[in-house]
């Protein structure tokens, strides 16, 4: 174990890869940039908030290493930690744009969103994904998943977006941890005490066999460094979020009458016949679809009654030059875990397919079609087969598609008349330039249900609710969300179910205003530049960005 990489802490890991004497840490422990949100909840903070940013050289090439400390709060991403990663990636992007090549390397040892700063975590993770996609036009963005924590939650969606993933056999990768699936879907869906099942399903050897990591190397500093140098030199890219037709074909060929097991899936994965998939625009149907706020507003905004689609949960249609996309529930869906409108495998890939086609169609047009996301997603799908197949890559595919569309110049606007939760929101909503929400008590906007969040952070639901009173980012309602400053507009006086002609016209007007106000903005910066964000909501974020820029 003398040269074990996994046994090292985040800072030592970064140093171990860099050429001697070339390292320089940015916003390190002595800069005192700690999370302002942990102490009010009675949690001990860390001086670097669990993120080590280090510039230096590997084999003579300029690199930026972002190393997540898995031992501090499970490597969870909060406001400060998230802003450190985003700010550093954006500086690296700027350098690459200016012809100064710098290779970003991200070491993932993370449970995803830090639940104690839930909504900050989600915002930051979407911003990380956005920066990664922009960077990939210039350089490969290499990911290392050494273990022990592995890569979970929103950061596994990020992992799927990275150019190339190197791991050891001491890591696991998945969207939802087994405990959360057990909490949400029951022990028969996924038994979180069955360690063999967990490792066989989420462990990196299985992930390697089914295209979800690219390399499993020995746990030694030398082996990892050798791989990193090789992947940088050969500009490796797995294009993991571009296999949309492959996965939609795979899902067509999946036998949903039986519970999926590993040998059956491995066989299916190897024998998929890939065919071109296209999700045509929604058409008027004869039968009412499963009721939801998302469906109601989609139908009213597009004027399509009883909208139906070949993928029953993914509706899209053009109206007045704008493309509306909604993920809706379907009580009879063949995939049981998406019947309440959750974002599952098919939803992620189908949305990616729709958005990719819009971008391709408008490729040579000077004015790009606006994309309006109608948001009512209660969460991502919690299920065993979802994890085995790799739901994080499905969600990564739609997040990547939206980010690419925006970066190509498509205005991407989210309209939120319903829930906007967790991985569902990352896949379908958080890549938009502007967020518009209805001021309605029924809307939940969060990273995890109360029951699961309480279980994972080892608190009672009462304790969790107490914490939400002090930390707006922990709250579940839209009024507290507004305090973060991320919203373009919180629309008062229109309820989630009140899609009258007059209200629809008003929402359309607000969407048009938002589009007109973009003035070519293709970034996500708006979120921390609003008056609320500057005054209170993203103060720590802005401070981090300033420090990173100064020290870069």
Partner 1 sequence: MEKLHFNFDTKDAISKPVHVGVVASGDLEVIFRPTDKQTEVNIVTGSDGFKEVWSNVLKRFFDRYPIQANIEINDFGSTPGVVNLRLTQALEELHDEK
Q: State the pairing for strand pair 412-416/434-438.
A: parallel
Q: Is 431 exposed, middle or buried (0-12, 13-18, 19+ CB in 10 A)?
A: buried
Residue 48 CB, nearest approach to partner 1 (Å): 8
Q: Could you tell me the end-to-end alpha-carbon distance of the chain, in angstroms, rounded to an integer?
A: 35
Round to whole Å and give the CA distance between 163 and 277: 24
10 or 173: whose CB is closer to partner 1?
10
Please, what's the b/e burial string for 68-82 (b: 16 or more CB within 10 A of its CB; e: otherwise)? bbbebbbbbbbbbbb
Contacts of 413 (CB under 8 A, 6+ apart): 370, 371, 372, 373, 432, 433, 434, 436, 511, 514, 515
- Contact at 8 Å (CB) between 161 and 400? yes
Between 42 and 336, CB nearer to partner 1: 42
Nearer to partner 1, 179 or 245 (CB): 179
* Closer Cβ to partner 1, 28 or 36, answer by number: 28
Would you say 24 and 54 are in contact if contact means Cβ atoms under 8 Å apart? yes
How far apart CA 295 and CA 441 sit, in angstroms, is: 18
> For partner 1, which is the closer residue by CB, 45 or 211?
45
- Residues 25 and 452: their CA atoms lie apart, in Å, by 36
CB of 462 to partner 1, least distance (A): 18
Q: Which lies closer to partner 1 via its Cβ, residue 9 or residue 61? A: 9
- Minimum CB separation from partner 1 for residue 320, in Å? 53
Cα distances (angstroms) measured from residue 61 to each of 54, 58, 136? 14, 5, 17
Taking the least distance from each CB to partner 1, the nearer of 71 and 97 is 71
Distance of closest approach, residue 53 Cβ to partner 1, in angstroms? 14
Query: CB 292 → partner 1: shortest distance, Å?
Result: 41
Q: Which is nearer to partner 1, 21 or 321 (CB)?
A: 21
Nearest to partner 1 of 28, 211 (CB atom): 28
The CB-of-84 to partner 1 minimum distance in angstroms stands at 16
By three-state DSSP, how is residue 104 classified? strand
Whether the CB-CB separation of 386 and 175 falls below 8 Å is answered with: yes
Long-range CB pairs of 280-285 (<8 Å, 24+ gap) are 280/309, 280/310, 281/309, 281/316, 281/317, 281/318, 282/307, 282/308, 282/309, 282/315, 282/316, 282/317, 283/307, 283/308, 283/309, 284/308
Summarize as ranges the residues that interact with partner 1 (CB under 8 A).
9-10, 28-30, 39, 42-47, 69, 71-73
Q: Give the distance from CA 456 to its chain's centroid.
A: 19
In the complex, what is the shortest distance from the CB of residue 6 to partner 1, in angstroms, rounded to a whole number?
Answer: 14
Closest CA to 372 of 424, 324, 328: 324
Nearest approach in angstroms of CB 528 to partner 1 is: 26
Our CA dihedral for 349, 156, 527, 416, rounded to 10 degrees, sits at: 40
What are the structure tokens assigned to 442, written together?
Answer: 């029924």
| Shortest Cβ 550–partner 1 spacing (Å) | 18
Residue 30 CB, shortest distance to partner 1, in Å, is 5
Nearer to partner 1, 29 or 409 (CB): 29
């Amino acid at each position: 174990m003398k040269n074990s990489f996994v046994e090292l802490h985040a800072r030592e890991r970064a140093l171990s890869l860099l050429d001697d004497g070339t390292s320089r840490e940015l916003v390190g422990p002595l800069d005192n940039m700690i999370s302002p949100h942990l102490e009010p909840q009675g949690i001990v903070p860390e001086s670097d908030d669990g993120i080590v940013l280090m510039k230096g050289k590997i084999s003579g090439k300029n690199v930026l290493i972002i190393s997540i400390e898995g031992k501090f709060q499970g490597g969870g991403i909060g406001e400060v930690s998230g802003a450190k990663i985003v700010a550093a990636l954006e500086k690296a992007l700027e350098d690459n744009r200016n012809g100064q090549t710098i290779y970003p390397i991200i070491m993932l040892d993370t449970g995803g969103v830090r639940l104690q700063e839930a909504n900050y975590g989600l915002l930051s993770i979407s911003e990380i994904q956005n920066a990664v996609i922009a960077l990939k036009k210039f350089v490969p963005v290499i990911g290392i998943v050494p273990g022990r924590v592995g890569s979970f939650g929103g950061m596994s969606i990020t992992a799927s977006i990275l150019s190339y993933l190197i791991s050891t056999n001491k890591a696991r990768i998945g969207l939802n941890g087994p405990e959360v699936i057990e909490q949400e879907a029951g022990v028969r869906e996924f038994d979180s005490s069955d360690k063999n099942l967990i490792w066989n399903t989420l462990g990196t050897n299985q992930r390697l066999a089914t295209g979800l990591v690219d390399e499993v190397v020995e746990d030694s500093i030398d082996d990892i460094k050798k791989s990193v140098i090789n992947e940088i030199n050969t500009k490796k890219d797995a294009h993991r979020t571009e296999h949309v037709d492959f996965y939609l074909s795979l899902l067509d060929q999946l036998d949903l009458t039986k519970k999926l097991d590993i040998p059956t899936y491995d066989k299916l994965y190897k024998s998929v016949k890939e065919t071109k998939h296209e999700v045509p625009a929604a058409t008027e149907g004869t039968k009412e679809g499963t009721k939801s706020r998302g469906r109601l507003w989609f139908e009213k905004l597009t004027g399509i009654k009883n909208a139906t689609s070949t993928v029953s949960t993914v509706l899209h249609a053009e109206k007045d030059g704008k493309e509306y996309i909604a993920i809706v529930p379907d009580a009879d869906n063949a995939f049981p875990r998406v019947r309440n409108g959750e974002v599952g495998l098919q939803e992620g890939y189908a949305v990616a397919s729709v958005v990719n086609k819009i971008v391709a169609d408008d490729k040579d047009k000077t004015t790009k079609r606006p994309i309006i996301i109608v948001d009512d997603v209660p969460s991502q799908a919690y299920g065993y087969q979802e994890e085995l197949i790799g739901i994080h890559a499905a969600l990564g595919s739609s997040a990547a598609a939206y980010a690419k569309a925006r970066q190509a110049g498509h205005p991407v606007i989210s309209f939120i008349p319903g829930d906007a939760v967790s991985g569902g929101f990352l896949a379908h909503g958080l890549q938009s330039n502007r967020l518009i929400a209805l001021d309605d008590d029924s809307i939940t906007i969060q990273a995890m249900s109360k029951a699961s969040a309480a279980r994972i952070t080892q608190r009672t639901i009462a304790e969790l609710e107490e914490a939400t009173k002090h930390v707006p980012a922990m709250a579940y309602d839209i009024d507290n969300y507004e305090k973060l400053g991320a919203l373009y507009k919180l629309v008062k006086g229109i309820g989630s179910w009140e899609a009258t002609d007059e209200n629809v016209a008003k929402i359309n007007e607000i969407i048009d205003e938002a589009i007109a106000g973009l003035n070519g903005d293709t970034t996500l910066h708006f979120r921390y530049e609003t008056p609320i964000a500057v005054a209170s909501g993203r103060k720590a974020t802005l401070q981090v960005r300033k420090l990173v820029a100064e020290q870069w």
